[in-house]
A and B are shown apart, each in its own frame.
Chain A
Amino acid sequence: MSLRVTEGSSVRASLVGLQANAGRLADLQAQLSSGRQITKPSDSPTGTANALRLRGELSRITQYQNNATDAIGWLSTTDTVMSSIVTQLQTARTLTVQGLNQGTADATSNNAIASQIDQITKSLIALGNSSYVGRPIFGGTTSGQQAFDAVGNYIGDNGNVDRTIGPNTNVTINATGPSVFGSGATSVFTILSNISNALRTNPAALNGSLAQIDTAMQQVSASQASLGAIYNRVTVAQNNLLTDQVDRKSQLSQIQDIDIADMAIRVSSADATYQAALATTAKIRQTSLLDFVR
């Protein structure tokens, strides 16, 4: 069927076209000025779902990074302290050898050695009460300020201090007092106190002490080694977290953000189209039959 063309229909058609062009231009300008491809969820339902998921993951990754940094701090402190403990125990061993060699020959010298052993005991108690961010590192999860009392009794608990360094990945970063220093008759403090007493009263009882000190040193070293392994694990996790973070951020940017150059070209092209439509509309039907009728 042949359509009649009226003034009204031409104007109408032009207006519809102008509106469509103006609408497209407005959308593109909104995207350009906000810097976002997705200004509302309906712009891209799957993009929105992905963006929300990625934001959650990024937030968690940042938290894992904080956790890992804190774990590293704790583990480093523990490692340094444990090295000092080993050094102190070695000194104690040397002194014990000296005492053994001297035997009952020199009581004064033995008393001097006993005093030194006592000092080492006090140092070890102080080391045992080392703290990180206000918590005793060997105290487990106690809310008290110390892991050992003045005579070497353990006053902490045996809770674990865990850190989450990845999805479903927790590491225990502490070593409780008994696991490092031993407990009861085989605790380092008991051993040293026995040595001190033996030096003062009965040097012959020192015969088994060396073996006890050796066992104690091995326990500390073993504990240090296992915490060292955890330290390495956390370091590796930190590197992975960094890579993950960069990856997620880049994915999020691709979904959410606009490519400025591309968008600027699209806006100027839409603008040119709109200008052309405006110019065409202005030229419609300037003349009609009435101009030609005499």
Chain B
Amino acid sequence: MMGSTFGSITDATQALNATRYALDVVQQNISNADTPGYVRQRADLAEVGPVAGAPTLYATGRTGSGVTVSGVTRMNDPVLDARQRTEHGRNEALLSQTGTLGQLENLFNEPSDSGLSEQLNTFWSSWGAVANNPGSIAARNVVLQQATGLATSLNQYNGVLTSLTQTTSAQLGQAVTDINTAAASLATVNKSIAIATAAGTPSNALLDQRDQLLMKLTSVGGATTVIQPNGTADVLIGGQNVVTGTTTTLVGLTGNVMDVGGVAVAPVDGTAGGLLNSLTSVLPSYQAQLDAVANTLATTMNNAQAAGFDLNGNPGAPMFTGTTAATITMSLAGGAGLAASGTPGGNLDASNALAIASFGTQNNSPDASYHALIGNLASQSGQVQQAAQTQASVTDSVDALVQSSDGVSLDEETSNMLTYQRAYQAAARVLTTVDSTLDQLINHTGRVGIA
């Protein structure tokens, strides 16, 4: 019932190795306590039992043969990780939309003394001044100046909308580039992970890298992830495979349409999803509403001009050419062309001007059209801001949970370190003891009679 002579030394040595390895893992954790994306690791020590089925000469089996490190576990929660990625994707989409709507609000700058609403008010008032004094060229010229100002403002707003669209498009292009870069890196990491898993070597640092890339792909591209049993990750955008193992498909952008290898996709989450939503839905909608304001203004004023007579008694010429915010221009040559009069023949009747002065109160006025635009913008922006706030706090709480499960606690590592240190000392002491018993056996047994 004896073990091998030197078996105990081997067992003690194994204990020393195992506890030293465990200390190395603790050191790794402590060194990387502040590294972003680092998931704490834990050495798994397993008891080594007697070799099963080995023939033995002895009646009772021997005891186990020490301890070994069976692996280094990465202490993450895959379910929580997946959830974290999803929430970050949604968060980025809402942040992007908040940004776009915020810029639109800055553009229109209402309510204020310099917004289009106040300009329209002043325009109608200037017609009122003409109604009081139809013979005054000065009063008529003020109306023309106001009209020109309105057209210019509409042109300017259109210009800003256009450049906002271009900027958003450029940002989407950048996002697509980022997605492709991350996808290429992920393919490389996947390859290394596959090799490491097949060879059985630890791949925790690679897995951390993989998770960083997955987070990037989800938060930029609104991607979904499938983690394979060997640790590699497949990434899909809009149902199309972007990364499968070590192969990637390029994500492209043509105008406002994203595609994966030529198949059109429309992600909803992620920065790309938010930017796409702005490009295909939000910005065109407000462009159309702005054009409607310009159209209403031009049509209303041109009809009013046609219904009246100018200072020379001729029917009024159109006041505006162009019916979109980009093209609307004031086209009357002089104040005498204002159709203030309601009767022909060249007189100082002001019934048409009187009617025009109260256009601002009507339901189909450009004012009503513009107020509706601002109302839509206000409620859409407010709603998105509210959703973004809620999403931000959800994302924060998921991040906190992940931090809590994955993060390194220095106190915990310190106490682990103490444990392993003592274990090492104890194993060393056992080794010393076994050594001294062997010494007793080898050097001091059977020396009777030796001088």
The answer on A and B forming one complex is: yes
**Interface membership of chain B positions 115-148, coded 1 if the CB is closer than 8 angstroms to chain A and 0 otherwise:** 0011001101100110111010000000000000
B248 to chain A, nearest CB (A): 32
CA distance A4 to B411 in the complex (A): 11
Residue of A nearest to B375 (CB): A49
- How does the 8 Å CB contact mask read for A214-242 relative to B, with 1 for contact and 0 for none? 00000000000000000000000000000
B233 at the interface (CB under 8 A from A): no
Report the minimum CB–CB distance from B152 to chain A (whole Å): 20
Find chain B residues with CB under 8 A from A256 CB: 111
Nearest Cβ in chain B — how far from A77, in angstroms?
14
Given contacts A41-B377, A170-B354, contact A4 B349 (CB under 8 A): no
B254: chain A residues at CB < 8 Å are: none
State the CA gap A8–B343 with chains docked (Å). 81
CB <8 Å contact, A55 and B371: no
Which residue in chain A gives the minimum CB-CB distance to B110?
Answer: A41
Residue of B105, B124, B360, B414 near A41 (CB, 8 A) is B105
Contact, CB under 8 Å: B379 / A9: no
In the assembled complex, which residues on chain A have CB atoms less than 8 Å from the CB atom of B181?
Answer: none
How many whole Å from B65's CB to the nearest CB in chain A?
A: 33
Given A7-B410, A40-B102, A45-B378: A167 and B349 interface contact (C-beta under 8 Å): no
Beta-carbon contact of A40 and B106 below 8 Å: yes
Name the interface size band of chain B.
35 or more
Interface centre among B367, B404, B415 (most CB of A within 10 A): B404
Task: Considering the complex, give the chain A residue whose CB is closest to the CB of B102.
Answer: A40
- Of A6, A133, A157, A163, the residue contacting B407 (CB under 8 A) is A6
For chain A, residues 5 to 46, give those with C-beta under 8 angstroms from any C-beta of chain B. 5-9, 12-13, 16, 38, 40-45
Q: Are A142 and B378 in contact (CB under 8 A)?
A: no
CB atoms of B360 and A60 under 8 A apart: yes
B117 touches A164 (CB 8 A): no
Q: Is the CB of B404 within 8 A of A141?
A: no
The answer to whether B111 and A4 touch across the interface, beta carbons within 8 angstroms, is: no
Q: How far is B342's CA from A170's CA once the two chains are assembled, in angstroms?
A: 15
Q: Is A212 an interface position by the 8 A CB rule?
A: no
Which residues in chain B, 88-122, are within 8 Å of chain A measured between CB atoms?
Answer: 101-102, 105-106, 108, 110-111, 117-118, 121-122
> Would you call A42 and B378 a contact (CB within 8 A)?
yes
| A276 part of interface (Cβ distance < 8 Å) | no
The number of residues on chain A lying at the interface, defined by a beta carbon within 8 Å of a beta carbon of chain B, is 52
- Which residue of the partner chain, among A41, A160, A163, contacts B381 with CB atoms under 8 Å? A41
- Of the candidates A66, A134, A163, the one whose C-beta lies within 8 Å of that of B135 is A134
- The docked-state distance in angstroms from the alpha carbon of A210 to that of B122 is 55
**List of A residues within 8 angstroms of B106 by Cβ:** 40
Stretch among B257-265, B395-403, B429-437 lining the A interface? B395-403
Smallest CB separation, A177 vs chain B (Å): 15
Smallest CB gap from A41: residue in B: B378
Q: Does B418 contact A (CB under 8 A)?
A: yes
Tell me how far the C-beta of B346 lies from the nearest C-beta in chain A, rounded to whole angstroms.
6
Given contacts A52-B111, A52-B371, A135-B135, contact A143 B346 (CB under 8 A): yes
B135 surroundings in chain A (CB, below 8 A): 134-135, 143
Specify the chain B residue showing the minimal Cβ separation from A157. B347
**Counting chain B CB atoms within 10 Å of each CB, which of A55, A67, A163, A168 scores highest?**
A55
CB distance from A284 to the nearest CB of B (A): 13
Contact with B along A131-168 (1 / 0, CB 8 A): 00111000001110000000000000101111110011
Question: Would you call A63 and B128 a contact (CB within 8 A)?
Answer: yes
Does B169 touch A at the CB level, under 8 Å? no
Residues B396 and A16 in contact, CB atoms below 8 Å apart: yes
**With known contacts A40-B105, A159-B347, A289-B415, A164–B110 Cβ distance under 8 A:** no
- A41 to chain B minimum Cβ distance, whole angstroms, is 3
User: Nearest-CB distance from A84 to chain B (Å)?
Assistant: 24
Find out whether the CB atom of A45 lies under 8 angstroms from the CB atom of B379.
yes
Q: CA of A38 to CA of B371 in the docked complex: distance in angstroms?
A: 16
Tell me which residues from 327 to 376 in chain B have a Cβ below 8 Å from any Cβ of chain A. Answer: 341, 343, 346-351, 354, 357-358, 360-361, 367, 371, 374-375
Residues of A within 8 A of B412 (CB): 4
Q: Chain B's nearest CB lies how many Å from the CB of A94? A: 38
Q: Quick check: A59 and B110 within 8 Å, CB to CB?
A: no
A42→B358 CA distance, assembly (Å):
29
Which residues from chain B contact A9 at a C-beta distance below 8 Å? 400, 403-404, 407
| B377 / chain A contacts, CB cutoff of 8 Å | 41-42
Task: Give the residues in chain A near B354, CB-CB below 8 Å.
Answer: 162, 164, 170
- How far does the alpha carbon of A168 sit from the alpha carbon of B358 in the complex, in Å? 8
Check B410–A288 contact: CB distance below 8 A. yes
C-alpha gap A67/B129 in the complex (Å):
8
Q: Which residue of B lies closest to A156 (CB)?
A: B347
Given contacts A142-B348, A143-B347, A160-B349, 15 further A-B contacts (CB under 8 A): A6-B409, A7-B407, A8-B33, A8-B34, A40-B102, A41-B377, A42-B378, A45-B378, A49-B375, A63-B124, A70-B133, A133-B133, A164-B358, A290-B410, A290-B414
